[in-house]
Amino acid sequence: MEFMTRVEIGKASWKLSHDRSVVTFGSCFADEIGRRLRDRLFDIDINPAGTLFNPSSVASTLTRTLDSREYSHNELVCTPDGIWHLMSHHSEFSSPDPLKVVSRANSRMQRAAAMLREKDTVLMITLGSSRAFRYLATGEIAGNCHKLPGREFELVDLSLESIIEEWDILIQKLLHENPTIRIILTVSPVRHKSYGLVADRLSKSILLMACHKIKEKYSVNVDYFPAYEIFTDELRDYRFYASDMVHPSEVGADYVFERFTSAYLDENEKDLTKQCLALTRRLSHRQLGERNGSTILFEKETDRLTSSLSKLSPRIANAIERIKKEK
């Protein structure tokens, strides 16, 4: 007996592997999938501009990344608390030191630009809302409002036509720069409750239509993964949401990630991801108390697994080094 309506996901015509680099752009759900790929030692750059929700901000940031147009001090905005911000970036880039904001944004942009040009790179886009805020001082769509007064912004609903037009130009540019790139479009299941649930559903419907129109036109390079549909049709219970009733819970995100790996990983890669995750957990382990015989055995096995996996791929070796630095 079936107790849910299961979303059918066709097998992708290509597969994700540890030999490909991955770049994610978009909403916090891109962070969720990206973090799980990172823990499985994929060579990944997660949200180089931080969390972005609307398709216009994602498209303009990606375009600027491909053009390698560096950010400058003139683009910064300072709030009354003395914190400097880039309107195109998430507040994780913000700082009391304006030089740090620009330096970090440009460093992340350069790394993402290089990865986007690598052979067989996978670009995963997660769109959150077709509602956006136009910053009146510049007329540009803001990636983040940084808690500035509402009077400094205009709420706009991006039309299906404008989204498709902007993304059509972007994807042509991406394919010109890298004909081997593979793009996965998805719509975030995170609900923008502050807009009202009816307005949020209307917003999601525009994003869904835009994704499918783009996929139809660029079917060789563009794929669609139904994260939103999995949450709304398979995971209807509120236990799959966090306590805010907006974001997916860890269990819910894990389930969607399992569906993602079923579509994009072959069996050998699935086995490899298990080994990689085991090593990540070992590297993240914090030893309590005095170093003893058990500790030494644990360290030796960790070193053995590190050496074994590092030899399989330079990308895995790089991912391991990044995990060690973050520890």
Q: Higher confidence at residue 89 or residue 2?
A: 89
Q: Amino acid identity of 126?
A: T
Q: What is the mean pLDDT of residues 131-148?
A: 96
Q: What is the pLDDT of residue 238?
A: 67
pLDDT tens digits for 34-53?
Answer: 999 999 999 999 999 999 99
Q: Higher confidence at residue 174 or residue 287?
A: 174
Q: What is the DSSP string of 257-320?
A: HHHHHHHH--HHHHHHHHHHHHHHHHHT----SS--HHHHHHHHHHHHHHHHHHTT-HHHHHHH
Of 8-17, 133-142, 187-196, 296-305, which range is least confident? 187-196
pLDDT tens digits for 166-219?
Answer: 999 999 999 999 999 999 999 998 877 777 778 889 999 999 999 999 999 999
Query: Average pLDDT, whole number, for the chain?
Result: 91
CA distances from 99 to 75, 76, 319 (A): 12, 10, 28
H/E element, 305? helix 293-310
Q: What is the pLDDT of residue 158?
A: 97
Q: Is the per-residue pLDDT at 312 higher than 70?
A: yes
The position carrying tokens 């931080």 is: 50
DSSP lists the bridge partners of residue 222 as: 183
pLDDT tens digits for 11-33?
Answer: 788 999 999 999 999 998 889 99
Q: What is the pLDDT of residue 295?
A: 79
pLDDT tens digits for 233-267?
Answer: 887 776 777 776 666 788 888 999 999 999 999 99
| Sequence-ordered strand ranges (E) for 225-321 | none
